[in-house]
A and B are shown apart, each in its own frame.
Chain A
Amino acid sequence: MGIVIRVQREDFDVGAELDRLAADRGSVGGLCAFVGLVRDMSGQRAISAIELEHYPAMTERALEGIAAQASARWPLDGSVVIHRFGRLEPGERIVLVGTASAHRQAAFEACEFIVDWLKTKAPFWKREHTDAGRRWVEARASDTAAVGRWGRGDAAGRGPSKSARGGPKKAAE
């Protein structure tokens, strides 16, 4: 079970990272990936760029903790979290979360779990550049609500067999 964490300024290659996640692991039956991108609009304002600041001493440790918790809850063969910082323009990749497991459900759920926790715990801050100036992005209550559905950060339990949340994605399984 390998956990790969990287915090970097430069871009990453999604395909290469996912290939690496499955390489030499014959037990992997599925990979799930989330790729976060910079949007070109914030409300009604056009965004020319964002800046991502982070807390270097804490960031990798926080991401590792989240990925380790996912591994404790779901039977994962591996996971990767890559988060960029610095100046990014619309359309650029910000973050990759990838999970590998024998079966899709664990991969899907663990990927969502990591993204949800990352959004509320990983020490990154976004600042948007618009024609009206620069402004710090405010945290969204919906992000806190999203992480709430995973229950307390209890690494002892296995992943729930069914997600607490229904919805189109689950219906597609």
Chain B
Amino acid sequence: MKIVYFAWLREKAGVSEETVSPPDSVNDVRGLIEWLRARAPGYAGAFEDLSVVRVAVNQEYATLDARLAHGDEIAFFPPVTGG
């Protein structure tokens, strides 16, 4: 699956987009975050406070409970500040 990061989440994670292959046990957004957190300190920083992390799966807003499938595009970003 593909993961994209924006704004300060991108800076903390240290990557703007990446393709990952987590184990099959990772089947929802929350699980993916836990798996990423364990990979490197940057991710732990990016996901330190989930109240300021928004998620989109395949370009639609999603919750931490959203199920994931192979080929999904998951985006992590802070609350939006356009307009």
Contacts and interface: CB of A to CB of B under 8 A. Distances in A.
A158 interface: no
A55 B83 contact: no
B82 A124 contact: yes
A122 B83 contact: yes
A73 interface: no
Interface stretch (A24-32, A102-110, A135-143, A160-168): A135-143
Interface residues of B, number: 17
Interface string A47-60: 00000111101100
A87 interface: no
A125 interface: yes
B73 A55 contact: no
B81 interface: yes
Of listed A94, A115, A139, residue having the most chain B CB within 10 A = A139
Interface in B5-37: 6-8
A27 B67 CA distance: 46
Contacts of B75: 55, 58, 123
B80 A123 contact: yes
A57 B74 CA distance: 11
B68 interface: no
A154 to B, nearest CB: 16
Interface of A: 36, 52-55, 57-58, 61-62, 83, 94-95, 115, 118-127, 136-139
5 contacts: A52-B82, A94-B82, A115-B83, A125-B81, A126-B81
